[in-house]
Each structure stands twice: as structure tokens, then as C-alpha cells.
Amino acid sequence: MTKSHPLLQLFFWLVMSIFAGSGMLMMAIYLYLAPTLPDTEELKDVELQTPLRVYSADGKLISEFGEKRRTPLTYAEIPPQFINALLASEDDGFFEHHGIDLKGLARAAFELIRTGRKKSGGSTITMQVAKNYYLSSEKTFARKFTEILLALKIEQSLSKQDILELYINKIYLGKRAYGIEAAAQVYYGKSIKELNLAQLAMIAGLPQAPSAANPVNNPRRALDRRNYVLARMRTLEMISAEEFDQAARAPVTARYHGATSEVVAPYVAEMVRREMVERYGDEAYTLGYNVYTTVDTNRQLAANRALQTGLLKYDRDHGYRLPKPMAPINTLDVAENPELEPWLSKADKAYDIDWPETLEQWDSILRDQDDMGLISPAIVRSVENDGAWIYQNNSERWLPFSGMLWAKPYVNVNIIGSEPEKPADLLSAGQRIWVEEGQDGLILAQVPEAEGSIVSLRPNDGAIQALVGGFSLGNNKFNRVIQADRQPGSAFKPFIYSAALANGFTPASIINDAPVVFEDASLENTWRPQNNSGKFYGPTRLRQALYKSQNLVSIRILKQVGPSRAVNYIEPFGFPRSKLNADLSLALGASAVTPMELATGYCVLANGGYAVDPYLISRIEDSNGNILFTATPRTVCRECEKPQSGTAEEQLSASELEQQLQQQLNPEEALPLAPRVMDERTHFLMISMLKDVVRLGTGKRALALNRDDLAGKTGTTNDQKDAWFSGFSPDLVTTVWIGFDQPKTLGRWAFGSNTALPIWVDYMGSALNGVPEHPFEQPEGIVSVRIDPETGLLATPGQSNAIFEYFKEEDVPSQPVKIAPTNGSGETELVPEQLF
């Protein structure tokens, strides 16, 4: 014993030296790293990166933007069963340790020494919080020591509940999902609170390998991990044997769910995104801004449907375009599969289709297709005598031949071929097609080549109620409402006529609709304008000329008013002066404007003569609900300009009128007054003429809405390159445009009245559903008198064909119609008084 004593002493001092050296080393590491540790108090005020979200006026989600999908939860909102699942898989001693698990770290160190490879990090949830919020993912000892020290510091500053809350909101769980609520939405399309035990265990198992082992990318591996979590929960007696058995047998129901949009309005969302980036830079994507737009959910959905329905109809009317792209069809070699021999026909003796592999590729092709609204992608599986079986959404569907009969081959924009005789004339196996849901089954479809747009504004303040910039944003991101400058044609004439009524013309003024030739240096060459019909109608009243859309009358009245004077009058309606041609081509709508600009101009006609500015964003909130911005649009206040009685001192000042408007419309925010740019009497005369466009003229299709408060104007440009209808009630203005992005004819039979107007009627029927009729009020100073319809002069007593016409009091004709001597038949002739 005495001989071994020195050895024991040596061993004792060796052990003590190791402990002392380790302690000194740890102290040195602590002294070196401690000054670099961040202040954990910052975690209490940390801002999680959350996406930009865009909502409709009634709070429905339109879209979200941002690299990270995240919806933060409080600890109280976390389902207890999920907490159990998470702790069972990640850190079952979380509520007992002080930030680090010594056994876990020792086990990880031993594995590293024994194998030379890192198998487990021994990290606690607190250590993962430290890494996620403060540290990089580099695998170094210095980073690991910093993580340990920071975890200890976090435990001293925050409660266990706070730490767990930070963890479940920060952790990456695959597919751009950060936090458990976002993961629940991504994989199941539900809130974490709505998931069952198997689904909660699936989410809890994701932190280990969120990209490689999530249920979308690798269902088999994700299932194994889920069952491991369930087994751990059973071992720790967090669930019963029955709960374990039921959850472990549950199938994998996860699939990818994109951002759950309640309102399809991609062009609106993109407009908001650009505005937010302009305001806040790249932080717009990460600080959790919530943007509330002026868009009305029901009107937006109606606009989507109306525009797509109209474009699909136009496309069907002009034939089916071939060929269509093909999808791959994989085959099996019979020589390698002799057991297939008895099942093959003579034609298939060499090969048969490998359907599992083929359908897997078809699924991938179909998933990659952009959303196209009313039409959806499909692939032809087989063609039969009376239809075709198509593959779509992991299942077969029947496309009857009756749904293909429209598909006469496209020859050119004016000619289509003969009706198909059998499905094989159009389709073949493997062909990629589009289909539309019809009342009697599927209908063959195709993505239209013609494009269009629709924009709807609230005329009293310019709030955008609905906006669709094309058939599909996925097909083309060009927003035709705000980016497409196109000639409006006759849809611009109401502004020319308004200028005329403001400068001495009346609805009864007679203009000679006759051939005219202009030689104008500003027009570069001789100009011989014509009416669309190619006919000339002679002396015509201004009212008739508008609802018949006679071009030569528009040119003559603009010549008399003067192009410069007309531009000065029209510009305040909302048209950029730089876009308005100061020459006679202005009369025919040759000045290119956007649909938004045209709709803005029509707001003046709808709201009583006031200029408003279109706007989309109603308010912006931060992630905590604090309001950062509220729109203050120029707003119509008819009461504010009514004559006031009393002395000058007793009358309200302009600022007091604005305060009055503030009290009437929004007591918390002052709203600027919309300025009057059109005299109320001129406005009334113009409205009465535009109502006749609907009642008697090119806008007759709008009579289908059975309302008496509608007015508007069609527009068709040269060679039918653009088709328009812009119309309104006092409560809503809507402009529809149809054309090709690269201007070319829509066809010889395409006009505003039969191409754009049906879309407008379809939309307005839904948009005004439940909105009572709102008649346009007749102002003081307007009188109605009987006139002769041929001359515009006062009718003679007892004249049988006399009509009533509206005039400003000072513009009532002073002379009755002149009675010429009787002609040979004994009848008197009326002599029209032509202006020129």
C-alpha cells in the first residue's frame, strides 16, 4: 500500500490539474467571449420578420409578399399537445434545465471523440433560440461556446414561456414557413389550433431537417420522423397507447398550400407592392405591414369573372388555334416485361405506356402552370369517339365532344374553318390543353390572345372598387389599366361634347354631317375623316350625333370650339395635358390614354362635375395594428357649395366649408374638397345625352340591367384595334377595354358595342345588385321646351312630331321653326338652320 501511495498522489494531482486547467480554460473562454455577447433584453422587443399583407376594404386577404411566411403566436395560443410534441422531440428537460443540457453536451462530445464526426449537437431549445436570433450557422467550437454562454444569459433574462414563444415563432420549418402557425398553413391550410395529434407531431418533427424531410419534399422520411415524435411522446407518457396507435396509423395528409388568398386580385396586389417598396424600401417585405385597399370583394370577383368570360367568348368566336404542346408519354419495353404480353393488342406488341412514371411527370407539368382563373390545365389521356378522357388534379375527367364543337379551326381574325367532325380532329393523347367548367360539363378552352382590362371607381372620391389588368397576371404581368396607352375612339367624345355645351352649343344645335377635307400642317397631310358606317347623315342634332356616334359632327364642333380651348377645358377632368392632341384628331379619340385615365374623366360626368383622383390604398398598419397612413382623397361635397344666405361676414369661408365636409364624412380626418370643373347645368345636359346612348344608341345592351340611372359611351378605333365601353351610374364608374397588346384588328365585326359593352353589363349587373337607382338631379336654370326635331328650333303649336329638349335658360331658341311654302303634294316643308 505504501508503495502505491506516490502513484495515487500523482494521479490525484493529475486529475486536479486537469480540472484546474479546464476551469482556467473555461474562464479564459468566458472572459474572451463575454464582452461580445449581445444584450438579451433586446429579445423582449425583437421584431420578427413577417410578410407584407394586402387586404380588401372588408378585410379579406388579397395577397402577401415576402421571403418568409410567418404569423407570430403568443405562448397562450400554442396548443398544449404541440408543446408536448415539441419537447418530446427536441428538449424533454426544457422546463428543468437552466439553458444547457450537460448530459446532452457530454454525449455529443463523446460521439465526436469516438467517431470523429458530429452526430448530435446536444442543443437545448434555449441554445437554438440563441443561435437563431444572434448567431450564424457555422459549425465551429467558438460558435458553440458562444451559444452555451448566451443560452445561460437568456435563461436569466426571460421566462421559459417567453423562450418557447420566441422559438416557435422563429424556427424555419420548410417551404418558406417560419414559425409553427405559418407551417400549419403551408402544409395543411389550417391554423395550428385546428390540427390533430398526427399533424401536430409532423410539425414538431420538422426542425431537424425542414427542407429535406418535410412532408411535401419527402413524405416517407417525414412520416418516419413524425412516428418517432409520437413514440417519444408515448415513452414520456404524454399520450396514451390508444392515442399513439391512432396517430401513428394516420396517413400523411400534408400538401403544399400557397398563401390563402380570399380575393383574387393579383394586379391590385402588385400595385400595392410597388407602392409599399417605394415608401419603405425592402423593409416592406419583412416588417409585417398590413395594407387595406379600397377594393370591394364582391365587385372584384365580379370583375374577374366578367372580363375572363368576355375574353373567352371573343376567343371562341374566332376559332381554335393548333398545334398544342405535348406532354411526355413514357413506355415500357415488352422484352423486359414478358408478363405484359398477353394484355397487349397487336398495335402495342412492342411497347406499352408506363403510366405511373408518365402521370408523375404530368402532375409536375400541371403544377407548374400559372393560375388562369376560369380555365384550368389538363392533359389528354385518351381520345374516344364521343369525347376524351383528360388528366387533371390527380384524377381522370370526361371532356364530351359537345364541349369541343365550338373549336372550328382559326384561319385568320375574320375567317374560321368548319366544325370538327370527331374529337380526334382536335385532340391526341398527351396533348396539353385547357378546359373550362360549363353548365353541362367540361368545355375545351385556350388562353385568349386578345387582352382586356376593367377598372371600376367610386365617383365621389375616386376609390378603386375593382381592377383587372388582363386575362391573367401569371400569363402576362403587364397591367393594362395603368400601363396601356390606347386610343379611346368615340369613348372620348363626351368630353368634346362637354366642351361644346360649355361654349354655346345646345343638345338641339344642328351640325351638318357631310364630307369634309382638312389640310392642316399639324396633321402632316390631307385628312378625310369618315363615319364608321361610311355614310353621311346631313343636318343632325347634337344629341343624335352623340348617340349615333357620328365622327364628322364631332370634328365640326371641335373645329368651332377650337382644339386649344377644348384641351384647356378637358385637362382638369384628369387627363395629362401632354397626352391630349391639340388638333382635330382629338375629336375622334386619337389621343392615347390609359383605361384608368378615361375612367377618371368619366368620374366627373358621374359625380356632378367634380375632379377626383383615383386611389387604391385606404390605410397602412404596422404589425402591431398602429395606423401609419390613412388616405385623404379629394371628395365631392355638393352641400358645401350651396348658396348661403346672410351678410358676407355671416357666410362660411372656404376653410370652414372644408371643416363642414370633415364633419359630414369623417370627423377624425379632414378631407379636401373635390374642385368643380364642370358647370352643373352643362353636366346635366351631358348626362341626358349620354343616357340616350344607352336608351337609343350604341349602348342599348345596357338596357338589360333594367335601370334608369345608367349612361355611357362606346368606343371603337380605326380598323377595330380597340373596343371600349365607359359608363356609369351616380354611384359607380366602370371602363372596359379590349384589344391586342401589339395593336392589330380585332376583326371586322368587333366593336365597342358587342365586344366591350357585354363585359361591362355582366360586371355592372353584379356590382350594382342591391344598390337602389339614384337619379341624376335636374339643377336650377335648366328648362324643357318643345322643339322641331329636324331644325332644333321651337316647335309650332300643334306640331305632331315635336319633341322635348333640355336647355339652359339663356340658350332656349328664340325663333320658331320656319314654315316653307307647300310642295307639290300640299305638304309644308321645314327649313333646317345649319351652323356650317
Q: Which residues are catalytic?
A: 90, 490
The sign of the torsion formed by the CA atoms of 468, 474, 480, 481 equals: positive
Contact of 730 with 684, CB cutoff 8 Å? no
Residues in the chain: 836
Distance, in Å, from the CA atom of 613 to the CA atom of 600, rounded to the nearest integer, reads 7
CA 771, chain centre distance (Å):
24
Distance, in Å, from the CA atom of 139 to the CA atom of 133, rounded to the nearest integer, reads 16
Report DSSP letters for 8-29, one per residue: HHHHHHHHHHHHHHHHHHHHHH
Q: Residue 264 to residues 60, 291, 298, 758: CA-CA distances in angstroms?
A: 10, 16, 11, 22
Distance, in Å, from the CA atom of 185 to the CA atom of 246, rounded to the nearest integer, reads 23
Q: Residue 87 to residues 80, 125, 201, 612, 674: CA-CA distances in angstroms?
A: 11, 9, 11, 59, 61
Q: Using only C-alpha atoms, what is the Rg of the chain?
A: 37
Distance, in Å, from the CA atom of 294 to the CA atom of 54, rounded to the nearest integer, reads 11
Paired strand residues for 671: none
Distance, in Å, from the CA atom of 375 to the CA atom of 315, rounded to the nearest integer, reads 13
Nearest to 617 by CA among 462, 469, 725, 730: 462
Cell numbers for 419, please give them. 366544325
On the CB side of 602, CA atoms within 13 Å amount to 33
List the 711-716 sheet strands across, edge first: 463-468, 451-458, 732-739, 722-729, 711-716
Helix axis angle, 493-501 to 595-607, nearest 10°: 40
Q: Residue 554 to residues 414, 513, 688: CA-CA distances in angstroms?
A: 30, 9, 18
Sorted by sequence, the CB contacts under 8 Å of residue 630 that are 6+ apart come out as: 618, 619, 669
Distance, in Å, from the CA atom of 485 to the CA atom of 721, rounded to the nearest integer, reads 13
**Pair type for strands 510-513 and 803-808:** unpaired
The sign of the torsion formed by the CA atoms of 780, 784, 789, 791 equals: negative
SS3 3: coil
Helix and strand totals (H; E) in the chain = 22, 25
Cis peptide, bond prior to residue 328, ω within 30 of zero = no
The kind and range of the H/E element at 316 are: helix 297-317
For residue 6, give the amino acid letter.
P
SS3 536: coil
